[in-house]
Amino acid sequence: MIEIIGSLNGRIFTQLRGMQLVYDARCFSFPGVTPGYLAAMAQCEAEKVPQVIQLLQDQLAKAARGEFTEAEIADAKNNRINSEVLGKQTNADAAMTATLDEIYNLGYNWSENNADRIMAVTLADIQRVAQKYLSGSPTITVITSQPEIFPDPSAAP
């Protein structure tokens, strides 16, 4: 899901960059044993903040409704598998992955089968997860800017 909406090939980046609204934009998650969070961020000129926030919210709402295509899922799977391979190129990378797999009681070689698990993900899986974790979740909007641009944070979009 994050690969579809938040990667450099994802909806948020391609839409906002395509509209020349942002320097950078993406979405990422911080999962963990305890509940984590999903964050969307964008870097833009101050006058574009309201439009960028609205478009970010629109994309997250679309994802929460489970509006994904089979083509997006196929691309996301390939991107994820490529990232996994690139993320284990050194002995240190492989050792870190094996260590984390052990810490999470998965077995040191659990990640060796990630490509199979990734390829098994379906459109229905993505829709179920998106609706579960994005629908009705509380949101926090943070704007960092020069004080003269947004002097009263409560007045920000």
Q: What is the CATH number of the domain that holds 131?
A: 3.30.830.10
Domain boundaries, position 15: 2-155
Give the torsion sign (CA, 12, 15, 21, 24): positive
pLDDT given at position 155: 62
Please give the share of the chain, as a percent, with pLDDT higher than 70.
94
Q: Which two tokens stand for residue 8?
A: 């450099």
Q: Radius of gyration (Cα) for the chain, nearest Å? A: 18
Please name which of 122, 31, 112 lies closest in space to residue 76, comparing C-alpha atoms: 122
Residue 149 backbone class (left: φ over 0; alpha: ψ -120 to 50; beta: rest)? alpha
Number of H helices, E strands in the chain: 7, 2
CA distance 42 to 125: 28
Angle, helices 49-64 vs 123-134, to 10°: value is 120
Domain count, the chain: 1
Per-residue model confidence as pLDDT tens digits over 114-146: 999 999 999 999 999 999 888 877 788 888 877
Please name which of 29, 21, 30 lies closest in space to residue 56, comparing C-alpha atoms: 21
Per-residue model confidence as pLDDT tens digits over 9-60: 899 999 999 999 999 999 988 877 777 788 899 999 988 998 999 999 999 9
Q: What's the pTM?
A: 0.81
Burial 44-75 (b: 16+ CB within 10 A, else e): beeebbeebbebbeebbeebbebebeeebbeb
